[in-house]
């Protein structure tokens, strides 16, 4: 079945960006002149989605007002609410009624990708296999403990880089890592993810973790992944946001050259 809907969870507290997030939600912090959220809406449209559903909080009215002006002739943008920030798994389940009985993409707006290629690959893998398919990346051993970590096997498919996920471990201690492959913020889900999300229990910090539902799919051998080398900016951390602003501005026709000359001048002193 074709994947036409993208869900963007944007109801978190953004505590790592305080005090900025008292004024502006993390998802609307500008990457030079464009809110992070817009990059993700554009990526959804480029990957063929015609509908974007933003999960937001009533404490972040500027997201709703941004969304109300974000629809284009290619994509219709709407919002649903998560009444309290009970975790990413809970945020995704808040979109259940709007998504309906269809496969859908989940895109984390604090991860900006260089292009839409990974989301397109995941959509293609889902359309071919009928299975939920998630974005993966190899990282240095020292970084594994910041992510969901997966053990994988080769998946027999003509889709490049596709793997079957055998095990999922959330933020393992270095000694407990099962590989150097981690989950990144792009997912294509079959609608049965909503049933899994109903079954999960809150983790130690009281949140409903999406990773726990992924673990259930992996245990049923119902989860695939694509190991990607895509350019990715983790704009959920202050350093990642700075890097995104500089690198994306360097690519821009209007300011790229000026910024490049200024940086050279500054560092050649």
Residues that bind ligand UTP (CB under 6 A): 9-16, 26-27, 55, 82, 85-88, 90-91, 108-110, 236
27, 63 Cβ separation under 8 angstroms? yes
Strands (E), 62-161: 76-81, 104-107, 111-113, 132-138, 148-154
Give, in degrees to the nearest 5, the angle at Cα 217 between 92 and 234.
Answer: 50
Residue with tokens 């895509």: 230
Q: How far is the CB of 89 from ligand UTP (least distance, A)?
A: 8
Q: How far is the CB of 3 from ligand UTP (least distance, A)?
A: 20
Query: Between 14 and 225, whose beta carbon lies closer to ligand UTP?
Result: 14
Give, in degrees to the nearest 5, the angle at Cα 248 between 247 and 249.
Answer: 90
Question: Which residues are within 8 A (CB) of 181 and not within 5 positions of it... i.e. 6 or more apart?
Answer: 136, 137, 138, 139, 149, 150, 152, 163, 225, 227
Reading the block at residue 144, the tokens are 């594994």
Q: How far is the CB of 109 from ligand UTP (least distance, A)?
A: 5
Query: Between 131 and 149, whose beta carbon lies closer to ligand UTP?
Result: 149
Work out whether the CA dihedral 85, 25, 191, 105 comes out positive or negative: negative
Query: Between 79 and 162, whose beta carbon lies closer to ligand UTP?
Result: 79
Q: How far is the CB of 112 from ligand UTP (least distance, A)?
A: 12
Query: Between 222 and 241, whose beta carbon lies closer to ligand UTP?
Result: 241
Torsion angle defined by CA atoms of residues 236, 116, 57 and 95, in that order, rounded to the nearest 10 degrees: -130
Query: Between 9 and 48, whose beta carbon lies closer to ligand UTP?
Result: 9
Q: How far is the CB of 10 from ligand UTP (least distance, A)?
A: 5
Query: Between 39 and 155, whose beta carbon lies closer to ligand UTP?
Result: 39
Q: How far is the CB of 106 from ligand UTP (least distance, A)?
A: 9
Q: 205 in the Ramachandran plot: left (φ > 0), alpha (ψ -120 to 50) or beta? A: alpha
């Amino acid at each position: 079945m074709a994947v036409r809907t993208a869900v963007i969870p944007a109801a978190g507290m953004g505590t790592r960006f305080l005090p900025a997030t008292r004024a502006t939600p993390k998802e609307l912090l500008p990457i030079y002149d464009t809110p992070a959220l817009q990059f993700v809406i554009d990526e959804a449209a480029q990957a063929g989605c015609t509908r974007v559903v933003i999960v937001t909080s009533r404490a972040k009215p500027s997201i709703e007002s941004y969304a109300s002006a974000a629809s284009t002739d290619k994509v219709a943008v709407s919002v649903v609410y998560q009444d309290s920030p009970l975790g990413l798994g809970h945020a995704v389940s808040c979109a259940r009624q709007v998504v309906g009985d269809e496969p859908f993409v989940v895109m984390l707006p604090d991860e900006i990708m260089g292009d839409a290629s990974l989301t397109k690959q995941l959509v293609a893998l889902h359309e071919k296999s009928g299975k939920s398919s998630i974005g993966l990346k190899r990282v240095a051993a020292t970084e594994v403990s910041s992510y969901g970590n997966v053990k994988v096997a080769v998946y027999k498919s003509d889709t490049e880089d596709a793997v079957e996920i055998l095990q999922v471990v959330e933020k393992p201690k270095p000694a407990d890592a099962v590989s150097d492959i981690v989950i990144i913020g792009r997912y294509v889900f079959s609608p049965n993810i909503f049933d899994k999300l109903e079954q999960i229990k809150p983790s130690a910090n009281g949140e409903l973790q999406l990773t726990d539902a992924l673990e259930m799919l992996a245990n049923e051998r119902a989860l695939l992944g694509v190991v990607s080398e895509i350019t990715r900016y983790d704009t959920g951390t202050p350093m990642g946001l700075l890097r995104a602003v500089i690198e994306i501005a360097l690519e821009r026709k209007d300011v790229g050259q000026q910024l490049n000359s200024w940086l050279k001048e500054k560092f050649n002193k």
